[in-house]
Amino acid sequence: MLILIREFQSPDEEMKKIVLKVVKQCTATDGVEAKYIKEEVLPSFFKYFWNQRMALDRRNYRQLVDTTVEMANKVGSSEIINRIVDDLKDESEQYRKMVIETIEKILTNLGSADIYSRLEE
């Protein structure tokens, strides 16, 4: 997983797609713990993938949303939504659309039971 996390920094769009697919598969695996995802993967994942450029490429957009939803299935909806909710105020419409689509899919899958009332506002 360490090599995979290092590849988050790759400027190659094709590599980003592959990395996202592998992260999604690894996250869905029973042997990968939620604590590990929270502490080791999420900080770099959001730093290198959640940006306006990813929202512009349709294929990466789709893969990023799917991977993020899979991570939410492992670590919980509030952990992910807390990290992206402020991006709803971003100037890029395409990026905001990606954020809202991700939040919608997470809430459809997991519900809002673990989301703090302050976040709902």
- Residues 35 and 21: their CA atoms lie apart, in Å, by 20
pLDDT tens-digit map of 48-87: 999 999 999 898 999 999 999 999 999 988 889 999 999 9
Average pLDDT over residues 103-111: 89
Q: Which residues of 6-27 are buried (b: 16+ CB within 10 A; e: fewer)?
A: ebbeeeeeeebbebbeebbebb
Lowest mean pLDDT among 65-69, 74-78, 97-101, 111-115: 111-115
- Residues 59 and 57: their CA atoms lie apart, in Å, by 6
Q: What is the pTM of this model?
A: 0.89
